A and B are shown apart, each in its own frame.
Chain A
Amino acid sequence: MKKNDVILAAALIGIALAAFGGAALYSQLTTKEPEAVVRLDGEEKGRYPLSEDTTVEIRQEDGSYNILRVESGKARILKASCPDKVCVSHRPISRQGESLICLPNRLAVEIENGAESGIDASVLSR
C-alpha cells in the first residue's frame, strides 16, 4: 500500500471508532433514571421517575382505584379500593425488580432502571 492508502485506511478506522465511541457514549448518556412503571392487567399505563415527588391516582372504569405516591426516591400505594389492602401495607420500593402488587385491581408497580439488587425474582408467601 502507498502512503496515501495508509492515511485513508487510518482515517476510515478513525471515523468508525469515533462513531462506535459516540454511540456508546450516547447510550450511556441516555441510560434512563430509575422509574416506577405502572401496569394494569400486564399492560403499561405510565412511568414516573423516582426523582420527582408526585401523587398519581390510577382509577379504572369500574371505579376501583389505587393512589401511587412517589416520594424521596421511593414508591408506595397510599390508598386503594381493594378489600385486602395488601398493596397499601407493602413497604415502599426503590430497587430494581421490586414491585407493589394489587391483585384485586390487577395493578403492578415495578421499579425499572433502579439500583441493581441483582435479584431476578423473590420467593414469597402470597
Chain B
Amino acid sequence: MKRIRYAKVLAAAALVLAGLAFILCKSRGPVRYEGQFYDCFDTVTTVTGYAESQEDFSRKVGLLKEKLTWYHRLFDIYHSYDGIHNLKTVNDAAGKEAVEVDAQIMDLLLFAKEMYGKTEGKLNVAYGSVLSLWHQYREEGQKDPAHAKLPPKAELEARAAHTRIEDVVLNEKASTVYLADAQMSLDVGSVGKGYAVQKLAEYAREIGLEHALVSVGGNVCAIGGKADGTPWKVGVENPRPDSGGTYITAVDLASGSIVTSGDYQRYYEVGDARYCHIIDPGTHMPPDYFASVSVQAEDSGIADALSTSLFNMGFEEGLSLVEGMEHVEAMWIGKEGETRYSSGFKVNEEK
C-alpha cells in the first residue's frame, strides 16, 4: 500500500511542477531579437522580429541583407557592378542607346512615371542632372565648411533643361530604358528606397518572418504586428529636438509603412543658412515649407514618393493630393513645430 501512496504523491508533485513549467514558458513567449546591417541605400537597416533562436534570426537578417543589397546595386547611380545593368549603366548610355534592364528597374520606373503624373512633377526621377550638381556642392561644402558654396543659379537653370520625364523612354516588351537626352540622368533617391523596402517586406514573409518591423534608415515598414498581436509603435521624431521631446507623436503600425522627409538630417551649411538634401523641381532649391512631412501608406514605395513630393509643396496642395488617394495619410510638422494631419491620420494618444 505504501508504494501506491508514494506514487500518488509523486504524481501530484509532477503535476504541480508541470503546471509551473507551463506558466513559466507561457509568460516568456517567443523571443524578440534585433539585427542591424549597413551598406544598403547609404544607411543603417534595423530589423526587429521574433525567432526560435539567435542563429535562426541572424540567418533571416542575412537573407534580408542579401535581398536589399541586390536592390541597392540595381538602383545605384554612382557605382557599376559585374554582371548587372543598373541605373548607372542607363545613365552612362544617355543619348546613345537603350539599355536592357532587370524587370525590377522597369517596374520601378513605370511606378515613378505614374507618381510624376499624380504629383504634377514634384516627384521626378529624371531630375538627376540638377541633383548631381547639388550633391557635388554639398559634398565639397561638408569637406570644407568655411568655403561652402551654393550651386550658381545659371548652372541650375541650364541643367534643369535636361530633366524631362518624357525623355525617359521605356520599352516594356524589350525591357529596355533609353534616355533620349544625352545630358540627362536618372536619380531615384526619392522613391527607390521605399520601393525596395516594400519588396523586402514581401520577401520577409516568404522566409518566415511573420511579425517584424524593418527600418531602412528611418523608412519604417511593419510585417504583421508584434507576436502578441498588438501593433508596433513607431515614433515620429521631433525635427527640432532642442525644443520639446524626442517624439512629436507615435503611430500604431500593424502593416504598411511610414516614411518621413525632413530638413534636419542631411544638409550642409552655407554661411548661417542650412540647405537640406531635398530639392524642389519647381525652384531647383531646397523647399522652405516644413520641417518634416510623414506619410503613412500600405505601400512603402508610395509612402516614400509622397513624403518627398509633399515636402516640396504647400499644405493645401499636399492635403488635397493625400485626401484624393486611398489608404494614404500624412502629417506635416511646420518650421515652428506646429502639426497638421490629414483627415484619417491616427495618432497614438499615449505616445
Contacting residues, chain B, for A118 (C-beta < 8 A) = 233, 250, 350-351
Q: Does B81 reach chain A (CB closer than 8 Å)?
A: no
Q: Does B20 reach chain A (CB closer than 8 Å)?
A: yes
Interface residues in B, total, Cβ within 8 A = 52
B210 to A: closest C-beta gap in Å: 16
**Contact flags A32-50 to B (C-beta < 8 A → 1, else 0):** 0000000101100000000
Least CB separation from B216: chain A residue: A126
A-side residues, CB < 8 A to B, are 1-2, 5, 8-9, 12-13, 16-17, 20, 39, 41-42, 83-84, 86, 91, 95, 98, 101, 103, 106, 108, 117-126
> Is the beta-carbon distance between A123 and B217 smaller than 8 angstroms?
no
Name which of A12, A39, A118, A125 has the most chain B CB atoms within 10 A of its CB: A125
What's the Cα separation between A111 and B239 when bound, in Å?
20
What's the Cα separation between A98 and B200 when bound, in Å?
24
> Is the beta-carbon distance between A42 and B5 smaller than 8 angstroms?
no
New contact pairs (18) apart from A120-B213, A123-B237, CB-CB < 8 Å: A5-B9, A16-B13, A16-B17, A16-B20, A83-B143, A84-B266, A91-B241, A91-B246, A98-B246, A117-B247, A118-B250, A119-B250, A121-B213, A121-B235, A122-B246, A125-B264, A126-B43, A126-B217
B180 to A: closest C-beta gap in Å: 33
In the complex, which of the residues B12, B43, B213, B247 contacts A12, with contact meaning CB atoms closer than 8 Å? Answer: B12
> Is the beta-carbon distance between B13 and A13 smaller than 8 angstroms?
yes
What's the Cα separation between A16 and B259 when bound, in Å?
51
Contacting residues, chain B, for A98 (C-beta < 8 A) = 246
Least CB separation from A84: chain B residue: B142
A126 to B: closest C-beta gap in Å: 4
> Is the beta-carbon distance between B264 and A120 smaller than 8 angstroms?
no
What's the Cα separation between A108 and B43 when bound, in Å?
12
Least CB separation from A93: chain B residue: B246
A28 to B: closest C-beta gap in Å: 13
B312 to A: closest C-beta gap in Å: 13
**Contact flags B220-245 to A (C-beta < 8 A → 1, else 0):** 10000010000011111101011000
> Is the beta-carbon distance between B13 and A9 smaller than 8 angstroms?
yes
If the complex has contacts A117-B235, A121-B234, A125-B265, are A12 and B9 also in contact, measured as CB distance less than 8 A?
A: yes
In the complex, which of the residues A42, A83, A124 contacts B37, with contact meaning CB atoms closer than 8 Å? Answer: A42
In the complex, which of the residues B8, B38, B234 contacts A106, with contact meaning CB atoms closer than 8 Å? Answer: B38
> Is the beta-carbon distance between B20 and A20 smaller than 8 angstroms?
yes
A1 to B: closest C-beta gap in Å: 6
Contacting residues, chain A, for B8 (C-beta < 8 A) = 1, 5
